[in-house]
Amino acid sequence: MELLDDKVRIWIESAKFVKPVSGVYVLYNRRKEPIYIGETDNLEKTFTKYVDSDFEGSECKQKTQSYQREFTDNPKERQLQLIEQFKSESGKLPICNSEIELETH
């Protein structure tokens, strides 16, 4: 289930070359299932941190095989739209997004 119009990209190969702009991103596991919908003010900084730290030890996000990203000036709002879209289509949250995290945004 692809959530964005952007092409699906292989995680490590292209994650290092993303632009330093605000946006949302969807991380997918081996079965191309969305496991995390994230947002950031700087995709390059966030992805570099993920690559360098192997997702900061997050076992859930370490299952990432591919991703999509979308540049947007309002990433928090777009993230919530995507999560609601995923939730309405699948009946659940992406496995690495928790209710607690969503409430703090």
Q: What is the pLDDT at residue 105?
A: 45
pTM for this model (two decimals): 0.89
Distances (CA, A) of 31 to 19, 24, 48, 85, 101: 27, 21, 24, 19, 24
Using one digit for the tens of pLDDT, what is the confidence trace for 12-48?
Answer: 878 888 999 999 999 999 999 999 999 999 999 999 9
What is the rounded CA–CA span in Å between residue 18 and residue 44?
5
Q: What is the pLDDT at residue 104?
A: 46
As given in the structure block, the two tokens for residue 7 are 């092409």
Dihedral pair phi/psi, residue 102, rounded to 5° = -65, -35
Using one digit for the tens of pLDDT, what is the confidence trace for 89-101?
Answer: 999 999 999 855 5
Question: Which domains does the chain possess?
Answer: 9-98 (3.40.1440.10)
